[in-house]
Chain A
């Protein structure tokens, strides 16, 4: 009896194993708005020199059906009929877009690996992660538990996570990073304005601030470590009511009774504010010759 059952099972393959081969293409303008909705698994997003939108890859049967269409100025790609009872993580799609396109990606469980983009990227997910390399004009990313890693001279960056770690390398311009418990690790930055906020995570910064620029770092219970160029001129406001403030720079003055130290290094120019309720603040001199300036600063025990 059992061999007969086995034979029957072999004769009728399980439908779940069926894969959908995806290969869809359409012409779009070089600055088209492209919306990618509810994809699952891993999406590789590539900016290229052609004015075409291409989606290739494979999807498990339970991932649903791909919809794909729109006009030359606005196109939409997504899945419908996805089996919401099971989380599909094995899907892998490659989406090619014109490099100056404005791309918006939304999905509960989609992770994104993006490269070659020079336009705007907007990414919102619940559990996915984001990895971006290249020179997008702007990146806006929100995820609950996923990590976010951006490497490249992005001019404007907004990142928000809850538990995810944020790692940024070589970013430029205007920067806002907010987490609840995730660490914020930044290296090789050169910014005009940065706001870094976390509740229980730690903040490690290595980079320069333009003259007249601002760096505002705040955590409730984590440590703040700022590695700054030795020649940087900045006005500092450092608050650590329950922790210590240490510095490799010579700091004039002493913290007030409330734990705030207002002072300057060099000839001033930039404005740096660092606040931690329970953690400590460390100011370190960035080495003159940095073997890897884009490597994020690190607080021992925080690298993940």
Chain B
């Protein structure tokens, strides 16, 4: 210390001139602070994004299946007389399975899920019954038509479920 008072103007000016014009912060502390202040605020957009992505995927899948079903379901009378198309039946069944899986990750109310499950049991029972009958009579175009109609009803029902308002 010198004998000068710290508030002496000459003293202050001489030291002020030695100071740097600006000081950079040693490192960016904000991300860590933000992370500690609002961890949920950072998590929510990610969950919302996942949900949005799931919804978009479900709609895209639904549209693709709609195109697939519409392409093949515009002639109901011909269905009963068409030859058995096992590959087509398998594709339709697979499309329904994928849609059902997609619906499993959506945000439907428990009561709605219960209604959906109850009705899927009805459709799946019809599919199983038609399949058993077709296994016993593999050449029956009537049974093949009924089985394909049941698969299509399953897909259309799942499409309806995908359009339901979220409560």
A125–B160 Cα distance when bound, in Å, is 10
Is B115 an interface residue when CB atoms closer than 8 A count as contact? yes
- Choose one: A109, A181, A275; the contact of B80 (CB below 8 Å): A275
Main secondary structure of the interface of B (DSSP, over half): helix
Contact with A along B121-153 (1 / 0, CB 8 A): 011001001100100010011110110011001
With a cutoff of 8 Å between Cβ atoms, the chain A residues found around residue B48 in the complex are none
Instruction: State whether B164 touches A124 (Cβ < 8 A).
Output: yes
With a cutoff of 8 Å between Cβ atoms, the chain A residues found around residue B149 in the complex are 197, 218, 275
Is A199 an interface residue when CB atoms closer than 8 A count as contact? yes
Is A170 an interface residue when CB atoms closer than 8 A count as contact? no
Q: Which residues of A in the span 83-129 have a Cβ within 8 Å of any Cβ on B?
A: 84, 106-109, 124-127
With a cutoff of 8 Å between Cβ atoms, the chain B residues found around residue A162 in the complex are 115-116, 119, 157, 160
Q: Interface size on B (CB < 8 Å)?
A: 34
Is B2 an interface residue when CB atoms closer than 8 A count as contact? no
A122–B76 Cα distance when bound, in Å, is 25
A263–B149 Cα distance when bound, in Å, is 23
With a cutoff of 8 Å between Cβ atoms, the chain B residues found around residue A237 in the complex are 77, 80
Beyond A199-B122, A241-B142, A259-B142, is A126–B80 a contact (Cβ under 8 Å)? no
Instruction: State whether A124 touches B165 (Cβ < 8 A).
Output: yes
Q: Which residues of A in the span 253-304 have a Cβ within 8 Å of any Cβ on B?
A: 258-260, 271, 273, 275, 277-278
With a cutoff of 8 Å between Cβ atoms, the chain A residues found around residue B153 in the complex are 178, 180, 197, 199
With a cutoff of 8 Å between Cβ atoms, the chain B residues found around residue A258 in the complex are 137, 140-143
Instruction: Name the distance in Å between A155's Cβ and chain B's nearest Cβ.
Output: 20
Instruction: State whether A181 touches B122 (Cβ < 8 A).
Output: yes
A200–B126 Cα distance when bound, in Å, is 8
Is B167 an interface residue when CB atoms closer than 8 A count as contact? yes
With a cutoff of 8 Å between Cβ atoms, the chain A residues found around residue B115 in the complex are 126, 144-145, 162-163
Instruction: State whether B126 touches A199 (Cβ < 8 A).
Output: yes
With a cutoff of 8 Å between Cβ atoms, the chain B residues found around residue A124 in the complex are 163-165
Beyond A197-B149, A258-B142, is A180–B164 a contact (Cβ under 8 Å)? no
Closest to B123 in A: A199
Instruction: State whether A180 touches B122 (Cβ < 8 A).
Output: yes
A sample of 20 more A-B contacts (CB under 8 A), given A108-B164, A239-B146, is A108-B112, A124-B164, A125-B165, A126-B164, A126-B165, A126-B167, A144-B116, A144-B160, A163-B118, A180-B123, A180-B157, A199-B122, A200-B126, A218-B76, A218-B146, A220-B150, A239-B142, A241-B143, A273-B76, A278-B129
Chain A residues packing against B (C-beta within 8 Å):
38, 84, 106-109, 124-127, 142, 144-145, 160, 162-163, 178, 180-181, 195, 197, 199-200, 214, 216, 218, 220-221, 237, 239, 241, 258-260, 271, 273, 275, 277-278
User: Can you list 13 A-B pairs with a CB-CB distance of less than 8 A?
Assistant: A126-B109, A126-B164, A144-B116, A144-B160, A144-B164, A163-B115, A178-B153, A180-B122, A197-B153, A199-B122, A200-B122, A241-B142, A275-B80
